[in-house]
Amino acid sequence: MLWFKSFHIVFVASWFAGLFYLPRIYVNLAMVPPGSVAERDRLLLMAKKLLRFTTILCIPAVALGVWLWAGYGIGWGPGNAWMHAKLFTVLLVAAYHVACAVLLRKFEAGIMHKSHVWFRWFNEIPVILLVVVVVLVVTKPF
């Protein structure tokens, strides 16, 4: 079981690394001056590749998490309400991941009109979600 936990942690950390950096690319895309086609194209390519890689990392992170939860019974039974909160937070992380993909499509289509300041705030969401997950898992408050 420790192998599964170890790989789960590695893939989750890697997934979050992508979620931390992808919106940072969006900040830069939102700041590209009109007419800077080469800069825009380079940033879009970076974002597409990072989103693809981050999506690939997300799959084993979630699969190993489900394996640990269902297969080994981690978080089942009385006194494990923390796991319900963690699962809800993981759904929020997945929704954030999907939102990143939607935003990238809008950038590619040239219909993104949000400011770099908006993306700077948007970039903070995965940090908060990671803190919530770690606190829930380590402290098991309820």
The pLDDT score that the predictor gives to residue 79 is 86
Distance CA 81, CA 121 (A): 30
Distance CA 93, CA 133 (A): 10
Per-residue tokens: 139: 């402290």
126 — pLDDT class (breaks 50, 70, 90): very high
* Letter string b/e over residues 18-54, b meaning 16 or more CB atoms within 10 A of that residue's CB: bbebbbebbbbbbebeeeeeeebeebbeebeebbeeb
Q: What is the pLDDT of residues 11-70, one digit of tens each?
A: 999 999 999 999 999 999 999 999 999 999 999 999 999 999 999 999 999 999 999 999
The pLDDT score that the predictor gives to residue 104 is 98
pTM over 0.85: yes
Q: What is the pLDDT of residues 27-42, one digit of tens each?
A: 999 999 999 999 999 9
The pLDDT score that the predictor gives to residue 73 is 84
Q: What is the pLDDT of residues 83-92, one digit of tens each?
A: 999 999 999 9
1 — pLDDT class (breaks 50, 70, 90): confident
